[in-house]
């Protein structure tokens, strides 16, 4: 490909009729596209993988690999799954359109079509692709920027505690009473666990973000989602986190039973992260309410604390896992923990909503689909 061709949008035409194939290729050349052609679906699939075109025009009725099979193959390969596909067909039945769309086609053109119709269909799909790419890049840049700005701050407190406590042990081991040694070792262990939790959450957040950005991966994940009877798992996660934070006496639980579409491990992760924040940002002695209500087709889990609360801007920044009031309270991981929980819930077909009154209370409402027994 020449230097001038490399700047053009590349369109692959997969069409078994020679005259139609050449006509479309000629039109695309006049319209300023770099075009390649294939005489059947099998060759077209190979060319798509080798050249990664910006868009594919594909006939439905072809030998060896028809248009529907071609779409399935393109969508099943990570290299080609996001390439827009416009199917070309002489059939105008609604069932034919529906079949193609369900398999992953982006648009249809019925033969014979005019030049304006072809140009509009191509421009529409390329514009959509550009908008999606721009949105994904913006999210990626935001995530990288957030990591760059927040990661050092998030890691500072536990690292400082580990360095301080271990330094005292090294310098004054022989002079330090056994009771104080144990306290310092426990402090190192606790901060190490906190540091491990933070790094795991950063890695998990990036993985969840990548899955949610890919509709096919998200669909596959949801199809494989586990069925969980949630009452026992929720209560176990709540008490486990409360014991770590030494706040078991502050709990008030009222959790109904239901079968939901989420794995037990994911459910426990969500509950523990939200509880961790509730304990961090409320005073010992103030109540933490965990309420689970089973509805007709959804389950609502409320976790309510009477602590610092968040303002509207802090809630809006949740997806960027911004640590709120970091300078005042020097607590790490709250924004990240909530963001991870939100992504997990969304990945399982639910939603997580934060309602808060600043300096009064925060209510996290999780909604998950209920499954029949």
Q: What is the pLDDT of residues 204-247, one digit of tens each?
A: 777 777 777 676 667 667 666 677 889 999 999 999 999 989 99
User: What is the CA angle 250-256-259, rounded to 5?
Assistant: 125
Dihedral sign, Cα of residue 255, residue 261, residue 267, residue 273: negative
Q: Can you say whether the dihedral through the CA atoms of 313, 315, 321, 326 is positive or negative?
A: positive
Distances (CA, A) of 124 to 97, 107, 108, 116: 18, 9, 12, 12
Question: Among residues 143, 147, 212, 206, which one has the least CA distance to residue 351?
Answer: 212
**Per-position b or e across 1-40, b if 16+ CB within 10 A of its CB:** eeeeeeebbbbbbbbbeeeebeebbeebeeeebbbbbbbb
Over 60: is that where the pLDDT of 333 sits? no
Look up the pTM and report it: 0.54
The predicted pLDDT at position 36 comes to 93
pLDDT higher than 50, residue 328:
no
Q: How far apart are CA 367 and CA 118, in angstroms?
A: 44
Q: How many CA atoms lie within 13 A of 133 on its CB side?
A: 10
- Region 136-151: mean pLDDT is 66
As a whole number of angstroms, the distance between CA 16 and CA 3 comes to 30
Tokens of 268: 């426990």
Confidence (pLDDT) at 158: 82
Extended beta strands in 295-346, E state: 298-305
Instruction: List Cβ neighbours of 89 (8 Å cut-off, separation of 6 or more).
Output: 59, 60, 61, 67, 96, 100, 108, 109, 110, 111
* pLDDT range class, residue 332, cuts 50, 70, 90: very low
> Which positions ≥6 away from 230 have C-beta within 8 Å?
255, 257, 258, 259, 260, 262, 267, 292, 299, 301, 368
Identify the pLDDT of residue 291.
Answer: 96
Distance CA 251, CA 127 (A): 52
Average pLDDT over the chain reads: 82
DSSP track, 1-21? --HHHHTSPEEEEE-SSHHHH
Mean pLDDT of 136-141: 72
* Contacts of residue 322, Cβ cutoff 8 Å, sequence gap at least 6: 146, 150, 314, 335
Contacts 24+ apart (CB under 8 A), 131-140: 132/82, 136/213, 139/209, 139/213
Q: Collapse the DSSP code of 272 into the 3-class scheme (helix H, G, I; strand E, B; otherwise coil) and give the result.
A: helix
DSSP state for residue 31 in the 8-state scheme: T
Q: Which of the four pLDDT bands, split at 50, 70 and 90, describes residue 99? A: confident
Burial zone of 273 (CB within 10 Å; 0-12 exposed, 13-18 middle, 19+ buried): buried
- Rounded to 10 degrees, the C-alpha dihedral 360/302/350/265 comes to 110
């Amino acid at each position: 490909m020449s230097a001038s061709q490399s700047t053009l949008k590349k369109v692959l035409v997969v069409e078994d009729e020679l005259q139609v194939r050449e006509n479309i290729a000629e039109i695309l050349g006049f319209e300023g596209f770099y075009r390649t052609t294939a005489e059947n679906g099998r060759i077209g699939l190979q060319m798509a993988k080798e050249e990664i075109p910006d868009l594919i025009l594909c006939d439905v009725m072809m030998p060896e690999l028809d248009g529907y099979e071609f779409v399935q193959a393109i969508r099943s390969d990570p290299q080609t799954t996001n390439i827009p596909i416009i199917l070309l067909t002489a059939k105008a039945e609604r069932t034919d359109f529906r079949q193609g769309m369900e398999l992953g086609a982006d648009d249809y053109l019925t033969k014979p079509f005019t030049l304006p119709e072809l140009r509009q269909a191509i421009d529409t799909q390329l514009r959509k692709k550009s908008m999606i790419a721009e949105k994904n890049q913006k999210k990626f840049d935001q995530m990288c920027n957030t990591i760059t700005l927040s990661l050092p701050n998030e890691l500072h407190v536990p690292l400082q505690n580990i360095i301080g406590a271990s330094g005292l042990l090294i310098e004054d081991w022989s002079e330090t009473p056994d009771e104080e040694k144990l306290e310092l070792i426990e402090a190192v262990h606790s901060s190490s666990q906190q540091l491990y939790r933070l790094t795991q959450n950063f890695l998990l957040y990036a993985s969840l973000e990548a899955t949610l950005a890919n509709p096919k991966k998200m669909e596959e994940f949801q199809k494989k989602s586990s069925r969980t009877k949630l009452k026992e798992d929720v209560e176990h996660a709540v008490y486990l986190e409360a014991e770590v934070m030494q706040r078991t006496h502050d709990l008030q639980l009222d959790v109904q039973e239901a079968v939901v579409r989420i794995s037990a491990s994911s459910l426990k992760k969500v509950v523990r992260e939200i509880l961790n924040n509730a304990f961090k940002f409320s005073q010992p002695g103030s109540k933490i309410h965990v309420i689970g209500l089973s509805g007709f087709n959804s389950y609502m889990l409320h976790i309510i604390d009477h602590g610092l609360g968040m303002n509207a801007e802090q809630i809006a920044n949740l997806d960027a896992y911004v640590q709120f009031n970091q300078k005042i309270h020097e607590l790490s991981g709250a924004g990240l923990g909530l963001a991870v929980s939100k992504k997990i819930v969304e990945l399982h077909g639910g939603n997580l909503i934060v309602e808060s009154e600043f300096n009064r209370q925060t209510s996290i409402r999780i909604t998950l689909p209920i499954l029949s027994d």
